[in-house]
């Protein structure tokens, strides 16, 4: 009987240790997403990036106008930390991001993205449009 009660106490201690380790891992994961600067989870970043990645590569001007309008909407709805910078220096001579009049609907433009962190693992932060 004594051995059974000791075994239950040991099993309870092991379960408590597993619970505490799991809780620590969960807190660490949440803290690391906040520290990364976006405050977004990986799933949120993937969803956010998907809005823009459909425009990547060579696209017509009409799609560029849609992209710019999407960027404007995101920048108006989000805090400054999640804003997207538009780089049009080679195509629009530093025109305002709120204007799409410089975009020719029949011209093909090359769109590329800059991300937080390294590679394409982070959130889209910069959109570059070239002719």
Q: Do both 57 and 91 map to the same domain?
A: yes
Q: Do both 64 and 108 map to the same domain?
A: yes
Q: Do both 58 and 108 map to the same domain?
A: yes
The pLDDT mean for the chain works out to 80
Q: Do both 31 and 90 map to the same domain?
A: no
- Decide: pTM greater than 0.85: no
Domains of the chain: total? 2
The predicted model gives 30-48 an average pLDDT of 69
CA distances 22 to 11, 31, 75, 103, Å, are: 17, 14, 37, 52
Residue 31 CB partners (closer than 8 Å, separation 6+): none
Contact call for residues 39 and 81 (beta carbons, < 8 A): yes
What pLDDT score does 34 carry?
55
Q: Do both 73 and 104 map to the same domain?
A: yes
Q: Do both 7 and 60 map to the same domain?
A: no
Give the β-pairing of 124-130 and 85-87. parallel
What pLDDT score does 69 carry?
86
Q: Do both 47 and 86 map to the same domain?
A: yes
Q: Do both 63 and 107 map to the same domain?
A: yes
Q: Is the per-residue pLDDT at 35 higher than 90?
A: no
Range of the domain at 12: 1-35
């Amino acid at each position: 009987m004594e051995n059974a009660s000791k075994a239950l106490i040991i099993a309870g201690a092991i379960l408590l240790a597993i619970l505490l380790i799991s809780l620590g891992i969960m807190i660490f994961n949440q803290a690391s997403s906040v520290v990364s600067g976006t405050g977004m989870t990986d799933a949120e970043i993937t969803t956010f990036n998907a809005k823009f990645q459909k425009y990547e590569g060579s696209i017509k001007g009409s799609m560029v106008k849609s992209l710019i309008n999407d960027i404007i909407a995101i920048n108006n709805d989000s805090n400054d930390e999640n804003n997207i910078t538009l780089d049009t220096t080679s195509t629009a001579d530093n025109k305002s991001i709120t204007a799409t009049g410089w975009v020719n609907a029949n011209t093909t433009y090359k769109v590329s993205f800059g991300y937080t962190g390294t590679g394409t693992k982070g959130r889209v932060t910069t959109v570059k449009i070239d002719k």
